[in-house]
């Protein structure tokens, strides 16, 4: 590359601040510092932000004359960059309207080539629309191995580089090209762009923050380039588990879990709302598929990471909602500008097949030396510093107990316990299930809708009786499984203990119960005889009520009368109660009697003239908001189940029968102990959690 006089003059006008983020990186920091000091284009300022290192990293940086900002050990990468930028003077716009300030972001385990900064900055200045530039990244230990030349993300959340398996650098990627994003290791950013985008998303503390930042830069009207002639060597210490990941969101210090969670977050936060449901479904099924593969490979920890990553987003959606709102404010271009950077399925499949065939070939390759290993080159080998430079003594890091960390997160602990038990408990039940009270489901959700809409049903000699409302609800729910009710029911029965645990845990914590007390109560609820018997006997109605009851308790605000409920909350309670009525006529009877009891209580307790007998005076007493809201909670669920609800007027005994086929239950003593009894039910001495909690 030739550098003219005008470009050299323009380079001298630029102000570049290098920001090093360190976290127990003393192993690599010596070379990083040496590489920065040897740059052909001198840096104007170097700032280091240390996230609670315990290995001597801050001391090494200060000895090198670098300003160090110290943060807590669990601080994220984005917050470190924000702290460094906050310490800089306020940036100024030049006379020509351009900002000549740049931020060069570096990890503590990446060393740029001596010409990297000059090449990056020159390429960016030659293209005024460019806001971010990144180098070609090679391996730290194998310095011919190409790690990245720009990066993208697939529709299912995988990190995409477009490179072949262990592709070696032969100059084939030395051109400059527009990409979706570049790694934060060596990322050169216009400071004005950084300020405009508000920095890195604080919800992405580590991993995938580079893709998110590049995505937002494109939407804001900027370009991102990868300059192939600029080279940087990267150890990828966190991703390869060479050091512990300590950021707040890294549960159990597992990098794969954090990476999967953040990948899903990036797609859900940045995708258009029209394709958001499809993206969510893809992510869910991809996580399930990967977890199954990991289980077959006898890697249960990685399988749990895949499921837990999705669970974290499902049950903690506040950060995702906040991020989507923030992106909506700074969006200038359509999300379609990202489409060319997302790899097509055909390209992904082709490269996957090539990697599989290459792996098979290498597995049967003769003459392969198993003891052969790649020796890391020293930084003196590439001529950055003299060979006599002293090595830093590496201090051992403290070990941690993963189980102890897991116990501190009872909700996740319970989630993993229930999933694990469900896998063992249901090992012979995968596939379409039927039997007991559960009839064989049709192949399509439209069949259920059709049965509900038809006025005549081919049952026995034919019938015009109204079809239960729970049939279309099952059809709607099966949208999760692409309209297959059989798969939806299998998934529901499989996840019943997990769903019961999570719902009850959230309800218990809402009522100010301690997190460990909530954990044990939710575990009792999830594996109560009622739930286990319902799973074994195919009682879909009882399972639905087990899901709904804790939600109803949550909707009723503690220490607040029903007259003070907002219209929205009242509608939510009526909707949830209507769904419960659809699955259990017995619940409908109980619900109506309960609300009538409250109406009578309110009428006699709150009405001062309840002894009046005139019709107008009685109506005036009933015009109380508390009583009216109770009437709404009676009538709305019934109205939702018309015309099926009318059948109970003529056949009231049907209210004692739940959905599905008739299954024999046990006697009176079992009912008192909340154990339905019958075939496949737990032993009678196993009390249900309702009785245990009430005694407690």
- Examine residue 57 and say whether the peptide bond preceding it is cis (omega within 30 degrees of 0): no
pLDDT band at 575; cut points 50, 70, 90: very high
pLDDT tens per residue across span 237-256: 888 778 888 777 766 667 88
Considering the chain, what is the average pLDDT of its residues?
80
- DSSP for 401-457? -HHHHHHT-HHHHHHHHHHHHHHHHTTT--S---BTTBPPPPS-HHHHHHHHH-SSB
Residues contacting residue 614 through CB under 8 Å, at least 6 positions apart: none
- For residue 312, what are the CA distances in angstroms to 26, 235, 262, 291, 617? 32, 29, 10, 16, 55
Q: Classify strands 146-148 and 101-107 as parallel, antiparallel or unpaired.
A: unpaired
39 vs 402, residue with greater confidence: 39
How far apart, in Å, are the Cα atoms of 176 and each of 23, 82, 110, 119, 136? 31, 28, 21, 11, 10
Report the C-alpha gap between 189 and 101 in whole angstroms: 9
Task: Please answer whether residues 307 and 288 qualify as being in contact, where contact means their C-beta atoms are separated by less than 8 angstroms.
Answer: yes
Pairing of strands 152-153, 159-160: antiparallel
- How many angstroms separate the Cα of 366 from the Cα of each of 355, 363, 374? 19, 9, 19
Question: Is-contact 496 533, C-beta < 8 A?
Answer: no
Per residue in 308-324, pLDDT (tens digit) is 888 888 777 888 888 88
608 or 204: which leads in pLDDT: 204
- 3-class secondary structure per residue, 285-308: HHHHHHHHHHHHCCCHHHHHHHHH
- At residue 517's C-alpha, the angle toward residues 512 and 523, to 5°, is 120
Could you tell me how many helices (H) and strands (E) the chain has, helices first? 27, 12
pLDDT digits (tens, 9 = 90+) for 512-533: 788 888 888 899 899 888 888 8
State pLDDT tens for residues 243-299.
888 777 766 667 888 888 899 999 999 888 888 888 888 888 888 888 888 887 778
Judge contact between 414 and 437, C-beta under 8 A: no
Per 3-state DSSP, the chain is made up of helix, strand and coil in percentages (nearest 5) of 50, 10, 40
Q: Percentage of residues in the chain with pLDDT exceeding 70?
A: 76
Res 402: pLDDT? 57
Task: Look at strands 152-153 and 67-71 and give their pairing.
Answer: unpaired
Q: What is the pLDDT of residue 409?
A: 79
17 pLDDT band, cuts 50/70/90, is: very high
What ranges do the domains of the chain cover?
5-356, 405-695
Whether the predicted model's global pTM rises above the 0.75 cut: no
- Contact in structure between 131 and 222 (CB atoms under 8 Å): yes
Cα–Cα distance for residue pair 33/112, rounded to 1 Å: 10
What SS3 state is found at 612?
A: coil
Q: How many CB atoms lie within 10 A of CB 128?
A: 9
Contact between 108 and 22 under an 8 Å Cβ cutoff? The reply is yes
Over range 165-174, report the average pLDDT: 89
Structure confidence at residue 398 as a pLDDT band (50, 70, 90): very low
CA 358 to chain centre: 33
Q: How far apart are CA 481 and CA 489, in angstroms?
A: 10
| CB of 245 closer than 8 Å to CB of 206 | yes
Distance CA 532, CA 526 (A): 8
Give the model confidence (pLDDT) of 662-682 as tens digits: 666 665 555 555 566 666 666
Q: What are phi and psi of 135, to 5 degrees?
A: -90, 175
CB atoms within 10 A of CB 19: 24
- 143 has a pLDDT exceeding 70: yes
pLDDT tens string 224-237:
999 999 999 999 88
Q: Which helix (H) or strand (E) holds 9?
A: helix 5-12
Q: What's the rounded Cα separation, in Å, for the pair 360 and 468?
A: 55
**CA-to-CA distance for 303 and 290, rounded, in angstroms?**
7
Query: Residue 48: pLDDT band by 50, 70, 90 thresholds?
Result: very high
Per-residue pLDDT at 617 exceeds 70: no
Q: Which residue has the tokens 């503690």?
A: 558
Over residues 114-130, mean pLDDT: 93
Rounded to 5°, angle at Cα 243 from 55 and 102:
80
- Predicted confidence at residue 511, as pLDDT, reads 81
Q: What is the CATH number of domain 5-356?
A: 3.90.550.10
Task: Note the pLDDT tens digit of each residue in 346-356.
Answer: 777 776 666 65
| pLDDT at residue number 443 | 80
By the 10 Å C-beta count (0-12 exposed, 13-18 middle, 19+ buried), 352 is classed as exposed
Position 94 confidence tier, pLDDT thresholds 50, 70, 90 = low
Asked which of 220-229, 404-413, 582-591 is least confident by mean pLDDT, the reply is: 404-413
- DSSP 3-state assignment of 42? coil
What is the percent of the chain with per-residue pLDDT over 90, rounded to a whole number? 29
């Amino acid at each position: 590359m030739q550098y003219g006089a005008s470009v050299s003059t323009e380079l001298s006008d630029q102000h570049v601040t290098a920001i090093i983020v360190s976290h127990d990186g003393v192993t690599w920091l010596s070379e990083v510092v040496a590489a920065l000091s040897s740059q052909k284009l001198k840096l104007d300022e170097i700032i280091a932000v240390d996230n609670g290192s315990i290995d001597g990293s801050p001391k090494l940086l200060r000895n090198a004359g670098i300003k160090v900002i110290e943060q807590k050990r669990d601080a994220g990468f984005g917050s470190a960059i924000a702290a460094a930028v906050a310490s800089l003077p306020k940036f100024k716009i030049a006379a020509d309207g351009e900002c000549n300030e740049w931020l060069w972001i570096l990890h503590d385990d990446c060393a740029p080539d001596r010409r990297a900064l000059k090449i990056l900055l020159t390429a960016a200045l030659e293209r005024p629309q460019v806001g971010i530039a990144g180098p070609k990244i090679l391996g730290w230990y194998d310095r011919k191995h190409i790690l990245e030349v720009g990066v993208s993300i697939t529709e299912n959340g995988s990190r995409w580089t477009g490179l072949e398996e262990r592709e070696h650098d032969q100059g084939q990627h030395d051109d400059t090209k527009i990409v979706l994003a570049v790694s934060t290791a060596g990322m050169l950013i216009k400071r004005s762009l950084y300020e405009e985008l508000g920095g890195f998303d604080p919800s992405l503390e580590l991993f995938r923050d580079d893709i998110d930042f590049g995505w937002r830069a494109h939407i804001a009207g900027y370009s991102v380039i990868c300059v192939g002639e600029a080279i940087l060597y990267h150890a990828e210490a966190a991703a390869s588990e060479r050091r512990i990941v300590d950021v707040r969101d890294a549960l159990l210090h597992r990098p794969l879990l954090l990476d999967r969670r953040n990948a899903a977050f990036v797609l859900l936060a940045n995708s258009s709302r029209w394709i958001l449901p499809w993206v969510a479904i893809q992510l869910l099924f991809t996580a399930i598929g990967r977890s199954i593969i990991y289980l077959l490979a006898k890697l249960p920890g990685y399988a749990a990471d895949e499921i837990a990553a999705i669970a974290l987003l499902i049950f903690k959606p506040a950060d995702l909602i906040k991020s989507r709102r923030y992106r909506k404010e700074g969006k200038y271009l359509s999300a379609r500008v990202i489409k060319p950077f997302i790899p097509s399925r055909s390209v992904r499949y082709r490269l996957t097949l090539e990697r599989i065939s290459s792996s098979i070939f290498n597995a049967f390759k003769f003459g392969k030396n198993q003891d052969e290993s790649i020796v890391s080159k020293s930084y003196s080998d590439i001529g950055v510093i003299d060979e006599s430079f002293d090595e830093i003594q590496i201090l051992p890091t403290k070990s941690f107990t993963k189980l102890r960390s897991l116990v501190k997160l009872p909700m996740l602990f319970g989630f993993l316990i229930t999933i694990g038990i469900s896998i063992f408990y249901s090992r012979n039940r995968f596939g379409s299930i039927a039997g007991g009270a559960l009839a064989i489901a049709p192949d399509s959700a439209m069949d259920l809708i059709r049965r509900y809409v038809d006025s005549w049903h081919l049952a026995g000699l034919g019938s015009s009786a109204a079809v239960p409302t729970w049939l279309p609800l099952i059809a709607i729910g099966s949208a999760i499984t692409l309209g297959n009710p059989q798969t939806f029911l299998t998934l529901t029965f499989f996840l019943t203990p997990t769903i019961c645990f999570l719902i009850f845990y959230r309800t218990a914590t809402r009522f100010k119960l301690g997190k460990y007390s909530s954990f044990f109560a939710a575990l009792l609820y999830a594996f109560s005889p009622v739930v286990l018997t319902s799973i074994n006997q195919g009682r879909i109605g009882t399972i639905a009520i087990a899901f709904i009851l804790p939600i109803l308790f949550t909707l009723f605000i503690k220490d607040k009368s029903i007259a003070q409920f907002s219209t929205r909350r009242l509608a939510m309670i009526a909707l949830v109660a209507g769904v419960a009525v659809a699955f259990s006529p017995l619940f409908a009877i109980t619900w109506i009697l309960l609300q009538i009891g409250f109406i009578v209580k309110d009428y006699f307790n709150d009405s001062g003239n309840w002894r009046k007998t005139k019709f107008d005076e009685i109506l005036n007493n009933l015009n109380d908001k508390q009583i009216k809201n109770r009437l709404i909670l009676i009538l709305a669920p019934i109205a939702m189940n018309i015309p099926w609800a009318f059948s109970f007027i003529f056949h009231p005994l049907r209210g004692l029968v739940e959905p599905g086929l008739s299954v024999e239950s046990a006697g009176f003593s079992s009912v008192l102990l909340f154990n339905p009894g019958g075939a496949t039910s737990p032993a009678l001495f196993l009390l249900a959690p309702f009785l245990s909690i009430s005694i407690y």
